[in-house]
Amino acid sequence: MRVWVLANGMINKEILISRLKCRLKIVGYSIILIFVFLFLGFFYFRFHIKNFNEQNPSCDNCQAIVVITGGGKRIQAGIDLFNQGCGKTLLISGVSSTFNKSYLKKSIPNSKIDKVFLGYEANNTESNAKETSVFLTIHEIERVLLVTNAYHMPRAKFLFENYIFAKNISIHVVESDEDLLTEVIEYIKFVETHAVYKFEAINKAYLNYLHDKVSFWKNL
């Protein structure tokens, strides 16, 4: 930082303080702008959730149903869709180690129980996407119906599209009555997830740029 000095060698404190105040003001305005952006983003997030509730698509071409555990009524919604003939396979991703198919026998006919698969490896939404990606590759499944709650769908769909980018993903929203705090927490997770992936993409692009530059100079 440039320091303003008088002829006698003394620092001009007034100029220094003025410049410091100016920079602090810029930082303050930037913080306010970020909070305004996040505040408006939350209202868009809630609007997005409402849209999900209104656009549950047909599952005629669905090969498999994927249910993400963790929210009320998700598993039952997936079972109902499966029993209605929506998809030939049902994957419930993220079940606990004590959960097994015996809990489902009252809800699913014996003729279909062999087409139900339980995923024990996932413990969050990202690992749900990873687990599902492996499952779809093994079973050569291309078209998937993703089942979760409305408030969770934006982040889930984003992560699944990143890990299963070559597949056709449809969504089925399970309606539920979440309080405002739950939506705020999920919105924070959604923003954080987007930020992490954007940062990783920028970092990867920059590293590729540096690699190309180094290769160019080596070949001269």
The residues, ordered by sequence, that sit 6+ positions from 156 with a Cβ below 8 Å of its Cβ are 68, 125, 128, 129, 146, 148
The residues, ordered by sequence, that sit 6+ positions from 92 with a Cβ below 8 Å of its Cβ are 67, 69, 75, 78, 116, 117, 118, 119
Q: Which residue has the tokens 């097994």?
A: 100
pLDDT at 51: 76
pLDDT at 1: 45
Residue 174, H or E segment: strand 168-174
Using the CB atoms, write b or e for 66-95: b if 16+ within 10 Å.
Answer: bbbbbbeebbebbbebbeeebbebbbbbbb
Average pLDDT over residues 176-203: 88
Q: Which ranges constitute the DSSP H helices of the chain?
A: 13-53, 74-83, 125-139, 153-163, 180-218
Q: Which residue has the tokens 């889930």?
A: 156
Judge whether residue 210 has pLDDT over 90: no
Mean per-residue pLDDT of the chain? 85
pLDDT at 65: 96
Confidence of residue 113 (pLDDT cuts 50, 70, 90): very high
Judge whether residue 118 has pLDDT over 50: yes
pLDDT at 203: 82
Q: Which CATH class is domain 58-177?
A: alpha beta
pLDDT at 139: 93
Judge whether residue 3 has pLDDT over 60: no
Show me where the domains of the chain are located.
1-55, 58-177, 179-220
pLDDT in tens, 74-104: 999 999 999 998 889 999 999 999 999 999 9
pLDDT at 15: 77
Euclidean distance between CA atoms 131 and 67, whole angstroms:
12
Euclidean distance between CA atoms 61 and 6, whole angstroms:
79
Judge whether residue 35 has pLDDT over 60: yes
Q: What percent of the chain has pLDDT above 90?
A: 50
| Centroid of chain to Cα 86 | 25
pLDDT at 82: 94
Residue 171, H or E segment: strand 168-174
Judge whether residue 44 has pLDDT over 60: yes
Confidence of residue 9 (pLDDT cuts 50, 70, 90): very low
Confidence of residue 54 (pLDDT cuts 50, 70, 90): low
